[in-house]
């Protein structure tokens, strides 16, 4: 799954952008699922869980980046 999402063998600098791209795809799919009146509940839950996991990963990277570069203005974005 991670290889399909392009989250393996990338540089650390590319990781935040890849997470954002993955979140956009997941959000788009969740919107599609929520618009359907007859859909598999398990898929909705899976997509929502994936979105939560990506958000946690994104937050962790931001915190780690701030701790690694406390004086770097880029880390305060």
Q: pLDDT digit string (tens) for 4-36?
A: 656 567 777 888 888 888 888 888 888 887 777
For residue 5, being part of any structural domain is answered with no
User: Over 80: is that where the pLDDT of 65 sits?
Assistant: no
- How many helices (H) and strands (E) the chain has is answered by 2, 0
pTM of the model: 0.53
User: Over 60: is that where the pLDDT of 75 sits?
Assistant: no
What is the rounded CA–CA span in Å between residue 38 and residue 54?
Answer: 26
Q: How confident is the model at residue 77 (pLDDT cuts 50, 70, 90)?
A: very low
User: Over 70: is that where the pLDDT of 72 sits?
Assistant: no
For residue 77, being part of any structural domain is answered with no
Residue 36's domain spans which residues? 12-65
Within 10 Å of residue 20's Cβ, how many Cβ atoms?
12
Number of domains in the chain: 1
For residue 76, being part of any structural domain is answered with no
For residue 52, being part of any structural domain is answered with yes
- Of 29, 28, 18, give the one whose Cα is nearest residue 54: 18
For residue 23, being part of any structural domain is answered with yes
Contact at 8 Å (CB) between 33 and 44?
A: yes
């Amino acid at each position: 799954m991670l290889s399909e999402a392009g989250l393996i063998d990338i540089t650390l600098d590319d990781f935040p952008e890849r997470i954002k791209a993955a979140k956009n795809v997941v959000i788009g799919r969740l919107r599609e699922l929520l618009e359907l009146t007859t859909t598999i509940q398990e898929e909705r839950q899976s997509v929502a869980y994936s979105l939560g996991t990506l958000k946690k990963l994104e937050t962790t990277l931001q915190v780690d980046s701030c701790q690694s570069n406390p004086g770097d203005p880029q880390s305060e974005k």
